Amino acid sequence: MVDVEALRNRIETLASEDDPKAGVAGDAVADLIRALNTGTVRSASRRDDGTWTAHAWVKQGILLGFRIGRIVDYSTKGFPFFDKHTYPVKPVQKSDGVRLVPGGSSVRTGSYLAPGVVCMPPMYVNVGAYVDEGTMVDSHALVGSCAQIGKRVHLSAAAQIGGVLEPVNATPVIIEDDVFIGGQAGVYEGCIVREGAVIAAGVQLTSSTRLYDAVQEQVITAEDGTLEVPENAVVVSGTRPLSGDFGAEHGLSLYTPVIIKYRDGKTDAATALEDALR
């Protein structure tokens, strides 16, 4: 059982040093990677009041691993692979209860895949990410560094969930339970998608995005650098006119995401995953 507080102290001390000893730092990074792989440690956690807290020391430890890592050859026949020795491919076993379908997928060590996760090829999960039970990561989908994905989430084909390693105190992208992310949608730095929300195909969200709620008739913008998509919101791609005479003269519009409804039984039926795929 890992002593999380002791590990944190080791990481913070080593990360502050200009030239940490490779052996000592390597041991600390290895302990952190093991804790991340088992889900014992996460780069962010949710409090009882629903707010999320980023754990800067975890990111410091991941970055420390890159600092001390040396390039090694992990290649197998026909598949060249060269990376830092501190970050090989994650050791996934049958006992983990994860479906990792063959065909070019990659899961980096230091990420957590809970039992029941389905990985369709080709997809990628980066270091520090946490993917909870029953989630599907579909073809060409990305789960970026330290992203936190909840239970029963569907990341559709080519969905992009951004990663945040720096600054270390920034909250990573959060996708809560029962969220549906449509094909080619992108959720990037500074975004939290609350439980049950639906992000339609092609929607793009960042912390600088203005989200128009057509149901509540309000504009949602980032607070303290974080844009929150409300629980059960259904978000689609829309447009808004470009302000100013030039925009009016030429009929120019800007892309904007719009909440057109809040989730109901019809939405649940449309976004449900077929049990046969599991």
Q: Any idea where the domains of the chain sit in the sequence?
A: 4-264
Per-residue pLDDT at 223: 86
| Strand-pair partners of 258 | 212, 236
Average pLDDT over residues 101-106: 90
Average pLDDT over residues 108-120: 97
pLDDT digits over 161-189, tens only?
A: 999 898 888 889 999 999 999 999 999 99
The answer to whether the predicted template modeling score (pTM) of the entire model surpasses 0.85 is yes
Q: Which CATH superfamily is domain 4-264 in?
A: Hexapeptide repeat proteins (2.160.10.10)
How does the average pLDDT of the chain come out, rounded?
93
Per-residue pLDDT at 274: 54
Would you say residue 273 has pLDDT above 70? no
User: Which one, of 80, 4, 79, lies nearest residue 35 by Cα?
Assistant: 4
Q: What's the Cα-to-Cα distance from 77 to each of 73, 84, 103, 107, rounded to whole Å?
A: 12, 19, 15, 19
Lowest mean pLDDT among 104-118, 204-218, 256-270: 256-270
Residue of higher predicted confidence among 133 and 264: 133
Residue 74: is it exposed, middle or buried by C-beta count within 10 angstroms (0-12/13-18/19+)? middle
User: Which one, of 154, 155, 127, 152, lies nearest residue 141 by Cα?
Assistant: 155
Residue holding tokens 């707010």? 51
pLDDT digits over 198-240, tens only?
A: 999 999 999 999 999 999 999 999 988 899 999 999 999 999 9
Average pLDDT over residues 85-100: 92
Average pLDDT over residues 109-114: 97
